[in-house]
Amino acid sequence: MHPQRKQRLQIIVFVLIAVAIAAGLLLYALRENINLFYPPADIAAGKVAVGQQIRAGGMVREGSVERSEQNLQVRFVVTDYAADLVVNYDGILPDMFAENAGVVVAGKLTENGEFEASEVLAKHDENYMPPEVAEALEQSGGSSEAEY
Amino acid sequence: MRLSRVYVSIITIRHRGLGKATYNLLMWSWFHKFGSPRWFYDFSTRVLPWLAVLCAAFLLVGVVWALAIAPSDYKQGNSFRIFYIHVPTAVISLVGYYVMAIAGAVSLIWRMKLADIVMKEAAPIGALLTFVALFSGAVWGKPTWGTWWVWDARVTSMLILFFLYVGVIALHKAFDNPEQSGKACAVLSLVGTVNIPIIYKSVDWWYSLHQPATIKFTEESTIHPDMFWPFLVITTGFYLLYAVALIANTRLGILQREYRTQWVRSRLQE
């Protein structure tokens, strides 16, 4: 390779490495802010102040969803299998909302340690299969749901 | 011009015996040949129709298979089929960024005109693919997540990718001198490559609303084979579409850049 071209190549490689390191440090410094939500374990550990607008995320615990008879009020438990968070929400849940499925809730932590959600988003998992296969899996005892 | 210089030096070296210089020449001569816009133009004239036919065949089979024949998803029903547009366009928008950046690096190092044209022509195609990926993701997100848009790591880094593509296009238009704009665009596209692994790993590194990858290279994919095969066909179709679009754009770029030369005039008169 021509020495001049070799030098240009070296400069490019050097600049790329420098930019990658800079980006890495930046993302490392901002890592808490880039996370879209807090897992319930972080909230239980007291990392979130009461009344602060945040998002929490995890799995909806099986059998925990309680719907009100009169209005849209709904109450469920979000878990990361290390800690639980009780969520209250007054509104329409997304179609994909289900027990044992991922969820991200936006809102505030209240004095009594429960979460007042203003928005509930369903977190979809990466598993795709036809309905017959999911049914067969369920009957054979295998779980058709993703691990959190 | 470069080509003739290579041949002249091969002839002179033959009289001095074979040395390191000859080896270097043989190593690099194909590279310089490929870098000639005229050679690329004539070569692509022959290849492009075949590639276009192949692309149309794969896309046609892929679309019919994915949208009509493949089974619906057990949770999402038919809205899962957006997957077949969303994933290929998103993947190729990342791959296409590397194509643009590598072409930029080649044009910076070797001052190769063809690489410069390829880099500039790759930008609008990549921007379009990124837009389609973002748009189809939003359309899928509304019924699935319950929102059109969320500022999580994956979606935000994809938006940055879109801005990087648009930035390269804008920077290219901002200069009158193609050589200057080439250097600036190449540097911007090279610096932007840092974003690609971030997009790819964003769903693993941070808590995001976007799910992790379904199609995996290192472990088993979490998609049923009946849904995977149409995906493979339609993705191949999209890759071919990218190739066809890039080659066609590059041909146009060559004509615009070289319109004063004799060979372009003779081709256009044919």
pLDDT tens digits for range B246-264: 999 999 999 999 888 899 9
A137 touches chain B (CB under 8 A): no
Q: What is the reported pLDDT for B268? A: 85
Task: Give B57-71 pLDDT, tens digit per residue.
Answer: 999 999 999 999 988
Instruction: Report whether pLDDT(B79) > 80.
Output: yes
The CB density around residue A20, as the number of other CB atoms within 10 Å, is 15
Q: Which of B71, B83, B144 sits opposite A96 (nearest CB)?
A: B144
Residues of A in Cβ contact (< 8 Å) with B194: 16, 19-20, 23
Task: Give A99-136 pLDDT, tens digit per residue.
Answer: 989 999 999 999 888 999 999 999 988 888 888 888 88
Residues 6+ apart with CB under 8 A from A25: none
Residues 6+ apart with CB under 8 A from B268: B255
For the packed helices B113-144 and B178-192, what is the interaxial angle rounded to 10 degrees?
A: 40
Nearest to B143 by CA among A49, A20, A22, A122: A122
Q: How far is A69 from chain B (nearest CA, A)?
A: 23
Q: What is the reported pLDDT for B137? A: 95
Q: How far is A9 from chain B (nearest CA, A)?
A: 6
Determine phi and psi for B261, rounding to 5 degrees: -80, 160
In this structure, whether the domain defined by A37-139 belongs to CATH 2.40.50.140 is answered with: yes
Nearest to A94 by CA among B148, B152, B71: B148
For chain B, the C-alpha Rg in angstroms (whole number) is: 22
Find the angle CA(A59)-CA(A60)-CA(A66) to the nearest 5 degrees.
170
Task: Give A21-77 pLDDT, tens digit per residue.
Answer: 999 999 999 888 889 999 999 998 888 888 899 999 999 999 899 998 888 899 999
B210 membership: H or E segment, kind and range: none
Q: Which of A5, A12, A104 sits opposite B209 (nearest CB)?
A: A104
Residues of B in Cβ contact (< 8 Å) with A127: 214, 222-223
Report the C-alpha gap between B68 and B25 in whole angstroms.
54
| CB atoms A8 and B108 under 8 Å | yes
Measured between CA atoms, the residue of chain A closest to residue B72 is A130
| CB atoms B145 and A96 under 8 Å | yes
Residues of B in Cβ contact (< 8 Å) with A37: 207
User: Which residue type sits at A29?
Assistant: A
Nearest to B47 by CA among B251, B261, B270, B254: B251
Instruction: Report whether pLDDT(A12) > 50.
Output: yes
The single residue listed with the structure tokens 């490559």 is B193
A8 touches chain B (CB under 8 A): yes
Evaluate whether A107 touches A74 at the Cβ level (below 8 Å). no
| CB atoms B152 and A36 under 8 Å | yes
Q: Is the pTM of this model over 0.90?
A: no
Report the C-alpha gap between B200 and B215 in whole angstroms.
12
8-state DSSP, A38? B
Report the C-alpha gap between A127 and B18 in whole angstroms.
60
| CB atoms A132 and B191 under 8 Å | no
Report the C-alpha gap between B128 and B106 in whole angstroms.
24
B109 touches chain A (CB under 8 A): yes
B23 touches chain A (CB under 8 A): no
Which candidate in B75, B78, B98, B231 is best for mutational testing of the A interface (most A CBs within 10 A)?
A: B75
| Count of alpha carbons within 13 angstroms of residue B176, beta-carbon side | 0
Q: How far is B223 from chain A (nearest CA, A)?
A: 5
Q: What is the reported pLDDT for A96? A: 87
Which candidate in A43, A129, A147 is best for mutational testing of the B interface (most B CBs within 10 A)?
A: A129
Delimit the domains of chain A by residue range: 3-32, 37-139
B261 touches chain A (CB under 8 A): no
Instruction: Report whether pLDDT(B22) > 80.
Output: no
Count interface pairs A-B at CB distance under 8 A.
122
Question: In which region does residue B172 sit, left (phi positive, over 0), alpha (psi from -120 to 50) or beta (all else)?
Answer: alpha
Evaluate whether A96 touches B140 at the Cβ level (below 8 Å). no
Evaluate whether A68 touches A83 at the Cβ level (below 8 Å). no
Residues of B in Cβ contact (< 8 Å) with A119: 146-147
Residues of B in Cβ contact (< 8 Å) with A137: none
| CB atoms A131 and B74 under 8 Å | yes
Report the C-alpha gap between B104 and B156 in whole angstroms.
25
Report the C-alpha gap between B177 and B191 in whole angstroms.
22
Evaluate whether A98 touches B74 at the Cβ level (below 8 Å). no
Residues of B in Cβ contact (< 8 Å) with A104: 209
| CB atoms A121 and B147 under 8 Å | yes
Task: Give B176-202 pLDDT, tens digit per residue.
Answer: 888 899 999 999 999 999 999 999 999
Report the C-alpha gap between B95 and B87 in whole angstroms.
12
Mean pLDDT, residues B53-60 taken together: 97
Q: How far is B136 from chain A (nearest CA, A)?
A: 16
Task: Give B201-246 pLDDT, tens digit per residue.
Answer: 999 999 999 988 888 877 778 898 889 999 999 999 999 999 999 9
